[in-house]
Structures are given as C-alpha cells and as structure tokens.
A and B are shown apart, each in its own frame.
Chain A
C-alpha cells in the first residue's frame, strides 16, 4: 500500500537576528539555515495495518505525513502510495485518503455539522445513495447522531473528534492519517475513538497511520511502531519489542527512557 525509500527533505529556515540594525541586514541579505527534516527515511506498509508513527517533536513525523498526503514534495527519494506518487497526482491521490489532524478542525465552524458533511459530499463528489449509507453507518458507530444539528464551535472536544472521524471517512478512503486523535479527550471519548478505529480496521481493512504522543493509543491500536528521531528511522517493529528492556516501568516512562538512550529526547 505504501512504499517509501530513502526519503529526504531539508528546509531552509531564515535566521532572525535581534535589533533594528540586524533586522535591516537580514532583510537585505537574509541568513539561511538548513534543517534536515528527513535524512533518508524508508519503510513500507501493507493494506490493513495500523502503524504507530512516533518520535519526539521535530523528529520528522509531520514532514513524512505531509509528503504522504501529497502536500509536500521531498528533495529526493521514492514515495508510492497505491501506485501513485502523491504530489504528482494530488487530486487522484487525496480522493482516496482521509486525514484527521487532532489540533485543527476540518469542519466548518459556524454551521451545523450536518452542513459540513453535505459540503464534503459535494467536494468529494460522493453519489447521494452511497453517501447516505456511509454517513448513517459512521454516525451510528460513533454515536454522533445527536450532534448533527449543532455547529462545530459549540461541541466539546470529544464530540468534535467523533464528527472529525465521520468527516474523514465519508468518502470511503482505505488509508487514514490520524494525528493526535485523542489529545485532550476524556477517558470515555478516548476509548470510543480507539474502539471505532480498531473496528474500522478489523471490519473494513482500513489502513491507519497513527502519529501520537499518547503511548496508550499506540498500545491499544498499533501492532507495529515506527520510531523516527532526527529525520531517521530508529526502530521498526512490535511495540512490546521496542519497550522490552524497560517494560517493568510502564509504557510512558519506558518510552521516555528509550528516547533518552537514543539521544533524541
């Protein structure tokens, strides 16, 4: 489903200097600094996998996700998803993927959630019968029926996340990018979200790439984890395997110690 080889990406970041003189100087001749976000990343995914993609902030997670979503072109390397190069066939590619960025909404803020769903139907050109069927199934599975008449801005975080999940799957993608799907949620909502994802995976074979700092999400969902640090893949395998040396301390502390050992904390 996903084939990534030797992916590299560097950003040029403008150095800012303090003081009015320096500000003028950086306007005339800006100083640039190269930051290597991806230093040769390779992995592949089979259909139906749930993979936890983890690593500390700034490790290269969101750069990888952006490349896989077709919104960023890498400097070099190969990325083929379902036979397509994402950034070369953006529209065809994104029609078959779903994305939830936990910190940013994809719903329209001031209108009832049902209106957002209707707008998504138009954007993705979903045939009305297919839409009805998927919509009802997803709303039912997430218990979002009572939320459809409320504007997104008036929903609690947990309620909104249920609606975000509906929104990201209405067009029937077989690949889902989930970025921090449980951040800030109460225990009940967290479990509901995890159960839903596990079920979509089990029953429909949905492939999921989960980026999160919540180790419990990973533990509950992912059979495989990929650990990235400073732009390189440091581990690719089972979660229990990754934490085995530190296991007795609990997952949170175990992962923290691992980051420390790898020098990426």
Chain B
C-alpha cells in the first residue's frame, strides 16, 4: 500500500507538471458525461418512463456506471493502456523489479483527469438516491440498510467488471502486439449499456452481458431489490459479487499472459 501511494504521488506530480493538459482532459471528460446525461434526460422528457423505470431510477444506474467506470479508469489505466507499456519495453523493466506485476502495472499509469467524470457521476448518484429515498426506505430500517448496501455493492461490482475487462484486454495484448480495439466494445460499450436497465435490450445481448460479462448482475437484477419493488427478493442483493468472480478470472488470464510473455520473449 505504501508503494502504491508513492506511485500515486509521482503520477500526480507528473500530471501537475503539465497542468494545462490535465485541465483540458478533465473538462473534456466532464463534458462527455454531461452529454450522455443530457441524452438520457431528453429521452425521459419525451417518453416519461423507460420499460417501466422512472427517470430517477435510471439515473441511479447511470450514476453507478459513471462512478465505477471513471474510478476504475483512474486506478487501472495501466491495464487499459497495457499494449503501449508492452510496446515501449516498459514491461521488461517491470519484470526486473522485485515486486508483483499487478501492483507495478497499476502504478505505471494513474489517470487523475478522470476525477471530473467521477464527480459528475457521484452528483447524479446522490441526486437519484435522494429522489428514491422514500421507496428505498420503506419497510423498516433493516430493509432500507440492505437496499443501500446493494447500491454500494452494485457500484463496487460494476467497477470490478470494468477492471476485469481492462485486465483481460491487457492479457490479450500479450498475444497481439497491436492495441486491441475490440476490447473497447466491452469497456466503453459496457459503460454505455449499463447506464440503462439491461431489460430494455435484446434477449441474446442481455444473456451475453449477464452470463459472460456479468453486467446484468450489477444492473437490473439487483436494482429491483434496491428500489423496493414488490416481488424482488433479497438474494438478488448478492448478485453484484459476480463482478468480483469475473475480476478474479481475468487475473488468471493475466498470469497466463505473463507466463507466455516470459517464455516467448515477445
């Protein structure tokens, strides 16, 4: 942990040495989030509800997706941009240092410009939680606490899935030297998609994003419970942990990738 803070300090100093760049990128990130939010609001201005979900219910998912994605992008940028680390020979330098590869790759890139985006996401999340307060608080304090805890675990689980996608993408980079654009379908695409309840999408797509990349487990399935919908049962509150299983599996792929790199040298 001490080492990670050292990495964070160096990354922060480096980014502050190019202050104007940091400001521009942070603002750009902020506007990206705001424009996605505007699109969602226009949609609701026109239709009122979406597949049975109110505006604030969807904004809850929106906030979760934005916060988890931007925080993971800040923390795990090294895995997200791993093909560059590999191409520049930086990974060989990592291997000649007496620490684990995961910590060193995390420390190699920290993208503080994503804080702007995280902040907007957090504000949206706070707004949605306040608006949904009465529904989430109904049925006694124990149930209410369980619902808020579910929102927290949805956010963490969603972050774990994004991190897992980055780690899987990095593992694939060992096989193909060029950056794999296809990974963005899952990371950026996953973020765009999980801003809305997955129940609005086609069945095949929904199944893929529940059983393969488990966005469904941090999205509409536990959402029903968190919102205090009738008929929603508490086991759904544990589904977000599927995100951590996904992350754990992606680290197995990472280990295989490192082993392959060390035995092929390319």
Q: Are B262 and A72 in contact, CB atoms less than 8 angstroms apart?
A: yes
- The yes or no answer to B98 lying at the interface (CB within 8 A) is yes
A interface residues, how many (CB within 8 angstroms): 34
| Chain A interface SS verdict (over half) | mixed
Set of chain A residues within 8 Å of B89, measured between Cβ atoms: 101, 104
Q: Are B14 and A92 in contact, CB atoms less than 8 angstroms apart?
A: no
Q: Are B265 and A72 in contact, CB atoms less than 8 angstroms apart?
A: yes
- The yes or no answer to B256 lying at the interface (CB within 8 A) is no
Which residues 88-135 of A sit at the B interface, judged by CB distance below 8 A? 90-92, 94-95, 97, 99, 101, 104, 106, 108-112, 115-116, 118-119, 122-124
Q: Please measure, in the bound complex, the distance between the C-alpha atom of A149 and the C-alpha atom of B110, giving whole angstroms.
A: 22
Q: Please measure, in the bound complex, the distance between the C-alpha atom of A69 and the C-alpha atom of B93, giving whole angstroms.
A: 10
Set of chain B residues within 8 Å of A95, measured between Cβ atoms: 98
B interface residues, how many (CB within 8 angstroms): 26
Q: Please measure, in the bound complex, the distance between the C-alpha atom of A231 and the C-alpha atom of B142, giving whole angstroms.
A: 71
Q: Please measure, in the bound complex, the distance between the C-alpha atom of A141 and the C-alpha atom of B95, giving whole angstroms.
A: 28
Known: A66-B92, A71-B262, A72-B265. A94 touches B98 (CB 8 A): yes
Set of chain B residues within 8 Å of A101, measured between Cβ atoms: 89, 93
Q: Are B10 and A69 in contact, CB atoms less than 8 angstroms apart?
A: no
Interface-centre pick from B104, B263, B265 (highest chain A CB count, 10 A) = B265
CB of B260 to closest CB in A, whole Å = 10
- Across the interface, B96 reaches (CB within 8 A) one of A94, A109, A111, A119, namely A94
Q: Are B10 and A111 in contact, CB atoms less than 8 angstroms apart?
A: yes
- The yes or no answer to A204 lying at the interface (CB within 8 A) is no
CB of B53 to closest CB in A, whole Å = 43
Q: Please measure, in the bound complex, the distance between the C-alpha atom of A101 and the C-alpha atom of B9, giving whole angstroms.
A: 25
- Across the interface, A90 reaches (CB within 8 A) one of B13, B14, B95, B263, namely B95
Q: Please measure, in the bound complex, the distance between the C-alpha atom of A101 and the C-alpha atom of B89, giving whole angstroms.
A: 11
Set of chain A residues within 8 Å of B20, measured between Cβ atoms: none
Known: A87-B262, A124-B98. A106 touches B93 (CB 8 A): yes
Q: Please measure, in the bound complex, the distance between the C-alpha atom of A63 and the C-alpha atom of B104, giving whole angstroms.
A: 23
CB of B261 to closest CB in A, whole Å = 9
Enumerate chain A interface residues (CB-CB to B < 8 A).
9, 11-12, 63, 66, 69-73, 87, 90-92, 94-95, 97, 99, 101, 104, 106, 108-112, 115-116, 118-119, 122-124, 151
